[in-house]
Amino acid sequence: MECLSVEGTSQWDWAQTAALIVPVITLFGAIITVAITYGLNQRATRRERQAKAFAEALAAIEDYAQMPYRIRRRPDTVEARHEISMELNQIQSRIAFQHAWIQIEAAEVGPAYDLLIHAVRDEAGLQMKAAWNRRASTSDKEMTLEGAYPRDQIDAARSQCVTAMRAALGRGKIQGSTLLRLPR
- Predicted pLDDT at 184: 36
CB 13 within 8 A of CB 3: yes
Q: How far apart are CA 49 and CA 12, in angstroms?
A: 55
- Predicted pLDDT at 147: 78
- Predicted pLDDT at 2: 52
Mean local confidence (pLDDT), 156-175: 85
CB 159 within 8 A of CB 107: no
Percent of the chain clearing pLDDT 90 (strictly above): 53
Work out the pLDDT band at 8, boundaries 50, 70, 90. low
Q: How far apart are CA 136 and CA 103, in angstroms?
A: 39
CB 172 within 8 A of CB 163: yes
Question: Residue 9: which region, alpha, beta or left (left: phi > 0; alpha: psi -120 to 50)?
Answer: beta
| Per-residue pLDDT at 37 exceeds 90 | no
| Helix ranges (DSSP H) in 73-134 | 78-105, 110-133
Q: CA 45: distance to chain centroid? A: 13
Query: Rounded to the nearest 10 degrees, how much is the dihedral formed by the CA atoms of 156, 125, 71, 97?
Result: 80
| Per-residue pLDDT at 10 exceeds 80 | no
Tell me 169's DSSP state: T
Model confidence pLDDT, tens digit, residues 108-150 = 999 999 999 999 999 999 999 999 998 887 777 777 777 789 9
Model confidence pLDDT, tens digit, residues 40-81 = 776 777 888 889 999 999 999 999 999 999 999 898 899 999
Model confidence pLDDT, tens digit, residues 85-110 = 999 999 999 999 999 999 998 999 99
Q: How far apart are CA 103 and CA 110, in angstroms?
A: 5
- Predicted pLDDT at 177: 42
pTM of the model: 0.72
- Predicted pLDDT at 181: 47
